[in-house]
Amino acid sequence: MEKNSILKLTDVTKRFGGLLAVDALNIDVKEHSIHSLIGPNGAGKTTTVNLITGVLPVTSGTVEFMGQNVTGKKTYEIARLGIGRTFQNIKVFQTMTLLENIMVGGNQLTKMGLVRTILDFKGAAGEEKMLREKAESLLDKLGMYHLRNEYMKNLPYGRQKISEIARAMMTDPKLILLDEPAAGLNPSERAELVKVIQQSFEEGFTFFLIEHNMDVVMNLSDDITVLSFGKKIAAGTPAQIRDNDEVITAYLGSAFVKNKEQEGAE
């Protein structure tokens, strides 16, 4: 049975001055799937994520999430509708604990503004308790509960990266966009990351994954879209993409070599 679409991009285009960073892109992410977006550096992958999440306005085209047109909505509105994300460059608070870092992801869940928080200690304490319990249960699920009171700066990079996924989960997103989650991870951290994504997928999350590591992409993905210079050059299953001559020429040839080099260096 054909799955429903959860995220649909129709002719999405982004122009930066004379540069067409994303050129009439069509993508259909199916509900409860792992859909990867791959392609060479500068292909427009992060820009696509920024267009989906409303960080950047589209030049033209539409983004639909769960059947609703979300083009032009604010980032917090899109987050509230159920899209979470992580960033290509790690964004954690090094001098806060792991638990506190996760709790930050739920800030937009709380109804109280700053003034009320100051005036209404009891209400604020109740909300903090709610965030704490949620963050603790996420850490428990990801096998990091025992590390909750460690300062972020003392945790290995792989844990820090996984903690960003936990932080994104604080708002109960249906769809999570991951921008290069495996970058900079060593092989065992990478294996742990794959496990976390797989397990979260089994629990019901849908993922839109940007990744250069082909082991991660090929192992996890149901569908893959390939971008080169802003244009979609192929879409299909991992097996179809692996054997696609245009994809090999534009990207995979060098990506496989790069992955091999990285592994050799480790």
Ligand X SMILES: Nc1ncnc2c1ncn2[C@@H]1O[C@H](COP(=O)(O)OP(=O)(O)OP(=O)(O)O)[C@@H](O)[C@H]1O
- Interface residues with Mg ion (CB under 5 A) are 45-46, 88
- Helices 157-169 and 187-202, axial angle in degrees (round to 10): 20
Nearest to 143 by CA among 172, 173, 163: 163
Q: Which of 88, 97, 198, 219 binds ligand X (CB under 6 A)?
A: 88
Q: Does 89 bind ligand X (CB under 6 A)?
A: no
Q: Minimal distance in Å, beta carbon 49 to Mg ion?
A: 8
**Using CB under 6 A as the criterion, what x/- string covers residues 33-62 for binding ligand X?**
------x-xxxxxxx---------------
Number of chain positions touching ligand X (CB under 6 A): 12
37 or 98, CB closer to Mg ion? 37
**Residue 16 lies near ligand X (rule: CB under 6 A):** yes
Contacted entry of Mg ion, ligand X, none for residue 176, CB cut-off 5 to 8 Å set by kind: none
Q: Please name the residues in contact with 88: beta carbons below 8 A apart, sequence gap of 6 or more.
A: 46, 179, 180, 183, 210
Nearer residue to ligand X within complex by CB, 30 or 231 = 231
Token pair 């033209």 is found at 60
CA-CA distance, 135 to 168, in Å (whole number)?
11
What is the closest distance, in whole angstroms, from the C-beta atom of residue 140 to ligand X in the complex?
Answer: 32
The answer to whether the beta carbons of residues 37 and 7 sit under 8 Å apart is no
- Where are the alpha helices (H) located in 203-252, listed in sequence order? 214-220, 238-242, 245-247
Interaction between residue 21 and ligand X (CB under 6 A): yes
Angle between helices 121-141 and 157-169 (to 10 degrees): 120
Least distance (Å) from Mg ion to the CB of residue 211? 10
Min separation Cβ 256 and ligand X, Å: 16
Segment contacting ligand X by CB under 6 A, of 14-22, 131-139, 151-159, 233-241:
14-22
Site for ligand X in 94-133 (CB under 6 A): none
Q: Give the CA distances from residue 153 to residues 84, 88, 149, 204, in Å, rounded to whole numbers and listed in that order.
A: 24, 18, 12, 31
13 binds, among Mg ion, ligand X, none (CB under 5 to 8 A by kind): none
Shortest CA distance to 33 belongs to which of 64, 51, 6, 9? Answer: 6
Minimum distance, C-beta of residue 209 to Mg ion, in the bound complex (Å): 12
CA distances from 19 to 13, 48, 122, 152 (A): 11, 14, 53, 38
How far apart are CB 25 and ligand X at their closest, in Å?
11
By CB under 6 A, name the binding residues for ligand X: 16, 19, 21, 39, 41-47, 88
